[in-house]
Copies of this chain bind each other. A is one copy, B any other.
Amino acid sequence: MKLLEKMLSASSDFSEYFATAFSVDNIIFGFDEADLKILLIRRGLERQTPIYQHMWALPGDLVHPTEDLDTAAYRVLEELTGVKNVYLEQVKAFGAVKRHPVGRVITILYFSLVKISRYEVMPNSFADEAQWHTIGSIRQLALAFDHNDIVETGFNALKQRVRVAPIGFELLPPKFTLTELQQLYEAILERTLEKRNFRKKILSMDFIVDLNESQEGVAHRPARLYEFNQAKYEKLVANGFNFEI
C-alpha cells in the first residue's frame, strides 16, 4: 500500500501521517587540554516543556518547513556557539516510536567539529545553560531522551570517520604541534599511540606542513608548529591516495 501516494493524491484523511515532527540533534565536538569534549545544554527552565527538567541534552531543534536538514543542523550549531564555517556531517536518523514522551519525533543526528579556542558559548541565545563535557563524564550521566544512545552512536561515527578522512584538524587551531595532534587522535580513538610511529605516519602523508615556527612561553623545549594543507591533501586524493590512521 503506497501510503505516500494515496495521501498526496486521494481525498482520504491522512492527517495522522503528519502527526509526526522531526528535528535535528547535533553532537558538537571540541578538543581542549588533551580532552575530547561534547557541548551539552541543560534542559530548563522557563522556555521548555517540563520534561527531563534540569537534565543535560544534546542541542537540537525542529527543522523548519522550508529548511534543508543540513541547514537546520548548522543553524542549531550557530545559534549555540556563534561559530561559522564548521565541519558538519550527518550520522543517521533515530525514529523509535516512543523516543520522545510527548509525541512522535524523529530526529536526524549530526556531528560537528569546532575549534574550541575560537568559540564562546552564548547561553542566553538558545539554552539556559551550555557546557562542555568529556565523553567519560557523559557516560556517567543520564541524559534526556535517548541521548545517551545517540551520543555513543555519534562518537562511534567520529571514530570511524577519523580513520579514513583527515577531519581531525577541524578540532585543532590552525597551527598545532604534533603532540597536540597525537593527543587528539588518542582521545578520539580512546587508545594510546606510539609517538615515533605516529609522527612517521602523519608526516609521510605529506599534507601537514612544517611552518618553521615554534611554541613560545612553554617551560620546556618548544615544539614545532604545523598546519594542515587542504590543497595538498586534495591533490593526493585526486591521485588515488587513501588516508588511514
Q: Does A216 contact B (CB under 8 A)?
A: no
A68 on the interface (CB 8 Å rule)?
Answer: yes
Assembled-state Cα–Cα distance A16/B64 (Å): 9
Q: What residues on B are CB-neighbors of A20 within 8 Å?
A: 18, 20, 22, 63, 65
Q: How far is the CA of A65 from the CA of B19 in the complex (A)?
A: 7
**Is B21 in contact with A7, judged by CB distance below 8 angstroms?**
yes
**Bound complex: CA of A79 vs CA of B3, how far in Å?**
13
Nearest Cβ distance between residue A93 and chain B, in whole angstroms?
4
Chain A, interface size: which category? Answer: 35 or more
Known: A18-B18, A23-B4. A68 touches B95 (CB 8 A): yes
Interface centre among A1, A4, A9, A102 (most CB of B within 10 A): A4
A110 to chain B, nearest CB (A): 10
A2's partner among B61, B67, B96 (CB-CB below 8 A) is: B61
- Cβ of B106 and Cβ of A47 under 8 Å apart? no
Report the Cα distance A96→B90, complex, angstroms: 13
Interface digits, A43-82 against B, CB 8 Å rule (1 contact, 0 not)?
A: 0000111100000000011111111110000000001000
Q: Do B3 and A62 touch across chains, with their CB atoms under 8 A apart?
A: yes
Query: A9 near B49 (CB under 8 angstroms)?
Result: yes
Residue A104 is within 8 A (CB to CB) of chain B in the complex: yes
Q: Does A105 make an interface contact (CB < 8 A)?
A: yes
Chain A residues within 8 Å of B, Cβ to Cβ: 1-9, 16-23, 47-50, 60-69, 79, 90-97, 102-106, 108, 126
The 10 sampled A-B contact pairs (Cβ below 8 Å) are A2-B47, A4-B23, A4-B60, A4-B105, A6-B47, A18-B19, A22-B106, A69-B106, A90-B92, A93-B93
